[in-house]
Chains A and B, each alone.
Chain A
Amino acid sequence: MSKVLMKGNEAIAKAAIYAGCKAYFGYPITPQNEITEYMAKYMALSKGVFVQAESEIAAINMVYGAAGAGVRTMTSSSSPGIALKQEGISYCAGAELPAVIVSVSRGGPGLGNILPAQSDYNQATRGGGNGDYKVFVLSPNGVQEATDMVRHAFYLADKYRNPVMVLADGMIGQMMEPVELNIEPLETIEKPWAADGNLERGYRNIINSLYLNSKPLEEHNHVLNAKYLEWEANEVMVDYYQCEDATVLLVAYGTPSRIVKSAVNKLRAEGIKAGLLRPKTLYPFPSKEISALCPQVEFVLSAELSMGQMVQDVRLAVNGQVPVYFYGRTGGVVFEDKEIVDAVKSHLGGVK
């Protein structure tokens, strides 16, 4: 298949259908509406299910029902809408249901605005739902990677029976880029656990997150945690740029990482050996990868479109080996490469 020029949101929706998504449930919110609109048309044309729900809460609970009944399903939303979905995401995690949630984040807090932002890193990686649970979080840096990651999200969701979030930002959702979609059918796996109303299998299936007694719930939490540890060991994805000889390490994710890449080039042109480590999975976070680069660098700088959220994970990864600095813009303001260059220079040569 050749490359086509597509808007991020539409490409995400199309990639989901190619990945075998059979049911989409959504609620209008900017800047992700094109996903819902695309699904409204093309789910019908591909004999899938589309429901415009009465709320974000209802949409994620429809996902819970469809996933529990054994079908590949997804929802999408943006920051305040993802906040509402947290209840259902916790239930999906607790009941071990595969589901894909696309978050095209915008400025906050509250209604904030509809401009690109990365202030939902904590919302995505920590979640606002109750209980000891984790959501797998993938972070694309453009439209092509967004479509690849949507496909990967369905794979991971089925493999681990867990909700997987693709955390895009308003830029990815709204910009057009050339993409080549993977149209190979994504392998389907047996779901002998699904409550799909078929007792011919010889036993009853129950989808549930309720464990009234303490020991069984503790055991359940250990089972869930074993999955998370497995992700941390096997599923971390990271992209390195000019890191081999770097003496300054920049960490950035999503579309802003492309601006930081440009800053690395400018710093290199001035003789400053900068490198960029881009986490492609925000949870599991590439802590080992960041830690491994610490012995060769003077400091680490986390650049984000937020007041400083991922930097907390960077600090945990660095664990005091070298100083960790932060540079961020927020509220929908996008930094320029020059700002990153200046921030790096301001920290060179130690504490002033």
Chain B
Amino acid sequence: MSVVFKKTRGLTDTPLSYCPGCTHGIIHRLVAECLDELGILDQTIAIASVGCSVMSYEYFNCDSIQAGHGRAPAVATGAKRVHPDKIVFTYQGDGDLASIGTAEIVHAAHRGENITVIFVNNAIYGMTGGQMAPTTLVNQVTTTSPFGRDVSLQGEPIRMSELISTIPGASYVERVMAADPISVRKAKAAIKKGFERQMNKGGFSMIEILSSCNIGWGKNPSDSLKYIKNEMAAYFPLGVYKDKEKPV
């Protein structure tokens, strides 16, 4: 009998700490498969952030550095600058990247750091129990927007891919989602392209992946996937926002 499907070498055997139904696990697998398929796993330094993925250093089967909240792009800058031939990527959520870490992500892109950013946007602070994030949708109920996000008080959700794409130093920015088999395949292609961009010394890449938080959203996993497709993707349009190789 031949093996037609197996666990990727890019992940360790440690059981994931994510809630059942959450799409972090799928995204982890996509990243890990890309690292393995591109043959770069053994030369990679993963930068874990703070949030649901705080333990990602336990799951990615490569060297890892756990960063402070929002600081992953700065930590990645330090590691990449001293080892320019290694592959360095951050794995960050929306609270980490779009709130407390806005300075770090903007300036890593601004400097054109040759790193890859995996940005998992589930429109909520999942790990801390479902508080409002800058990406929380209008009228979405969270523990800190109990009456729904009120634009007059809390502003409209911030669109990070659009923002980062305006920065000259950003090379490749794409928003994808992990909502069904087709979108997951597209997400993998985008992640792979991001790592290839880095391998070619093409500069800063960020792949935003719309993801679910069925627990924080108060929905079942199936409805959560529909919410990504119908509600999130409506406000956060999918697509390539920037694709510009550095002039060699």
Contact = CB atoms under 8 A, between A and B. Distances in A.
Interface of A: 22-23, 25, 49, 51, 53-55, 57-59, 61-71, 73, 87-88, 91, 95, 195-200, 204-210
29 contacts: A22-B82, A51-B78, A57-B71, A58-B107, A61-B71, A61-B78, A62-B74, A65-B65, A65-B67, A65-B79, A66-B79, A66-B81, A67-B78, A68-B65, A68-B79, A69-B45, A69-B79, A69-B82, A87-B68, A197-B45, A197-B62, A198-B43, A198-B86, A199-B63, A206-B63, A207-B65, A208-B57, A209-B66, A210-B55
Given A25-B78, A64-B78, A198 B104 contact: no
B103 interface: yes
Contacts of B83: 69, 71, 196-197
A102 B47 CA distance: 26
B63 A196 contact: yes
Nearest to B71: A61
B66 A207 contact: yes
B62 A69 contact: no
Instruction: Kindly state the interface size class of chain B when it binds its partner.
Output: 35 or more
B161 interface: no
Nearest to B42: A199
Nearest to A194: B63
A235 B142 CA distance: 52
A95 B79 CA distance: 15
Nearest to A97: B65
Contacts, number: 141
A88 B71 contact: yes
A197 B82 contact: no
A210 B54 contact: yes
A199 B40 CA distance: 10
Given A64-B67, A207-B66, 9 more contacts: A62-B74, A62-B75, A66-B79, A71-B82, A196-B83, A197-B42, A197-B62, A206-B63, A206-B66
Interface string B48-63: 1000001101100111
Contact of B78 (A65, A87, A209, A210): A65
A62 B103 contact: no
B78 A23 contact: yes
B79 A51 contact: no
A63 B63 contact: no
A88 B68 contact: yes
B209 interface: no
A64 B49 CA distance: 13
Nearest to B86: A197
B41 interface: yes
Nearest to A88: B68
A61 B74 contact: yes
Contact of B68 (A66, A91, A199): A91
Given A51-B111, A58-B107, A197-B43, A63 B65 contact: no
B99 interface: no
Contact of B87 (A59, A88, A197): A197
Contacts of A199: 41-43, 62-63
Nearest to A49: B81
A95 B66 contact: yes
